[in-house]
Structure 1
């Protein structure tokens, strides 16, 4: 009974973590306002792809456009910094040295990696796994949109904008990425805690069963 209470408490913690983080971003809030039918449809659309798949496809697109070259491929992951920073002849000079570009890439790499490295989900109920998968897919899609916007902002000739306008839009992409990064840290930590609690509950149940079988 005590372990079950722990499990219930952990579910509440995860729910609170999700709600408190998602309320900070309009895009997240809008997603949670969807009807059950819309959510079911979203879940049906989740492909059995790794979280980096879309990211890598975006990398190929950027490489073909001449924005950068791919210098390193490790375990299926592009060196995103090389992709954006090398051969940046077409990048607006005002944006070229802005540290927020590098920070955006670092945060996106880290937050996607956190989702990709979640372990032990097999012990969770199916509805929990589906929920986690849908959140991962939502974050991945939003990251793609941020990359699309970043590409428009930093490449000269993509859009007619003044330098101030480019910097303003870069700031919005940065804030958007920062918000998703903070959410992902809290969400994945909550999932990890939930997995630990479920495993403990299962272990306690097995110990009780063995005790009664041997006595």
Structure 2
């Protein structure tokens, strides 16, 4: 089974599963000051870039990207990832989506909420939103609040896919005040998801990152 979706135009993609050579080229292309820096710093950055790209592959990432810039004259940052993981959801994708929704909302507390929506591709999506606080010891204060959205879409069966998968779209931003400005991008991505038995256009294998 293959999946296609609209990559957000303002997000810069982090390649998934890069080799050491590819990570080297990516790091020097995106961090031009690195070339004139200390050799030990170069090695550390290259290890982190390569390790991060390989970690994305291990978690089943099909896309990972971020955007950093200004919005309404203020700094703004957001990250987005699309992953696929094995998930034996049973006979009904709708029941699976509803179960995921109930479990996540119950586990994350009263500030989280969500709903199940039908997508144009014919599959349901369990969409949950809420706040999360990450601790960054190097900062003062160390608590960094984020707003998050996660959408879970059961992947339909296909002749080339023996196991069942769950497609997850994850979005997070510490610029909570810009939440409404980012939402149209998420809506376009979710409504643009399509599944196919054949590799058509920009479609990628659901099980590509294994």
The answer to whether TM tops 0.5 is no
Of Structure 1 and Structure 2, which has the larger fraction of its residues in strand? 2
When normalised by structure 1's length, the TM-score is 0.32
If you compute each CA radius of gyration, which structure gives the higher value, 1 or 2? 1
When normalised by structure 2's length, the TM-score is 0.33
Higher relative contact order (CA 8 A, sep 6+): 1
